[in-house]
């Protein structure tokens, strides 16, 4: 009986001895879990924004010429004899690499800081094309010379101000609530911009 009690005591001691180890392992698992979540969610948001930008600016990592089976670095339309150039591969690869880098950097931030940065960047990405479109409308309608509004950088000023204000004013709870929501907003927003850029095909 004494031996049994003694054994129970030792088992309990061993269990207590291992408790901090288990807690530490559990914390590490939670930490890596949240890092995985940060990576996966940031990748989706960053990829959608970057792909839209690279497509609109036509910044491929490489250009493929299928008719002559040649690969050129960056944007290389080539001569007409080379046939049609293909940029899509270059946009996708560049977006994937850039989004991976952004997502890895994002894992270094605390969730709170990251969610606020995401609000800033996503609002900036949303406001910039809105102000750009608005500037184009003003330039068309204005009786004075508003050519400066056509610059891609002019609408960036109010967009930057709006994004800074949003990031400053948003509460941590709201930033956390909307964080995963950017995963839907950014790809759909990107598709709206990219779809609009194809309107000529549908209006011909």
Partner 1 sequence: MDSILSIISVQTLWKISLFLHFVVAVALLAAITLQAALVLAPSPQVAGAPAGSLRPLLLAAPSATLIVILYLVQALLGAWVYVKYRTYVRIPMEGLRHWWTVGAFEFKEHVITMGLALLPAYWYFWRDPASQQHSTIRKWVTVFLAFSVWYGLAVGHVANDFRGVGS
Residues making contact with partner 1 (CB under 8 A): 36-37, 39-41, 43-44, 47-48, 51, 55, 64, 66-67, 83-84, 86, 88-89, 91-92, 95-96, 99, 180-181, 183-184, 187-188, 190-191, 194-195, 198, 200-202, 204
CB of residue 202 vs partner 1: minimum separation in angstroms? 5
Three-state SS letters, 111-167:
HHHHHHHHHHHHHHHHHHHHHHHHHHHHHHHCCCCCHHHHCCCCCHHHHHHHHHHHH
Q: How far is CA 174 from CA 38, 109, 166, 171, in A?
A: 17, 18, 11, 5
Q: Which is nearer to partner 1, 9 or 172 (CB)?
A: 172
CB of residue 157 vs partner 1: minimum separation in angstroms? 28
CB of residue 97 vs partner 1: minimum separation in angstroms? 13
Q: Which is nearer to partner 1, 162 or 189 (CB)?
A: 189
CB of residue 108 vs partner 1: minimum separation in angstroms? 18
Q: Which is nearer to partner 1, 14 or 101 (CB)?
A: 101
Q: Which is nearer to partner 1, 146 or 185 (CB)?
A: 185
- Within 10 angstroms of residue 17's Cβ, the number of other Cβ atoms is 9
Instruction: Indicate if the alpha-carbon torsion angle 175, 178, 180, 184 is positive or negative.
Output: negative
How many whole angstroms separate alpha carbon 57 and alpha carbon 202?
22
Q: Which is nearer to partner 1, 69 or 171 (CB)?
A: 69
Residue 108 carries which DSSP code? T
CB of residue 2 vs partner 1: minimum separation in angstroms? 47
Please enumerate, as own/partner, the contacts of 107-110 that have beta carbons within 8 Å and a separation of 24 or more: 107/35, 107/38, 107/39, 107/42, 109/38
């Amino acid at each position: 009986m004494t031996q049994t009690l003694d054994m129970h005591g030792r088992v309990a001691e061993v269990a207590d001895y291992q408790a901090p180890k288990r807690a530490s392992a559990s914390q590490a698992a939670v930490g890596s879990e949240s890092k995985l979540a940060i990576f996966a969610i940031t990748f989706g948001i960053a990829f959608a924004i970057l792909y839209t930008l690279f497509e609109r600016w036509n910044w491929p990592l490489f250009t493929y010429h299928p008719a002559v089976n040649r690969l050129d670095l960056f944007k290389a339309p080539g001569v007409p004899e080379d046939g049609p150039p293909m940029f899509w591969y270059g946009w996708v690869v560049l977006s994937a690499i850039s989004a991976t880098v952004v997502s890895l950097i994002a894992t270094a931030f605390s969730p709170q800081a990251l969610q606020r940065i995401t609000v800033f960047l996503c609002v900036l990405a949303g406001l910039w094309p809105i102000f750009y479109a608005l500037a184009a409308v003003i330039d068309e309608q204005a009786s004075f010379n508003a050519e400066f509004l056509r610059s891609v950088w002019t609408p960036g000023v109010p967009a930057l101000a709006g994004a800074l204000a949003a990031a400053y004013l948003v509460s941590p709870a709201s930033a956390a609530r909307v964080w995963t929501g950017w995963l839907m907003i950014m790809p759909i927003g990107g598709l709206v911009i990219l779809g609009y850029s194809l309107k000529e095909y549908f209006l011909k």
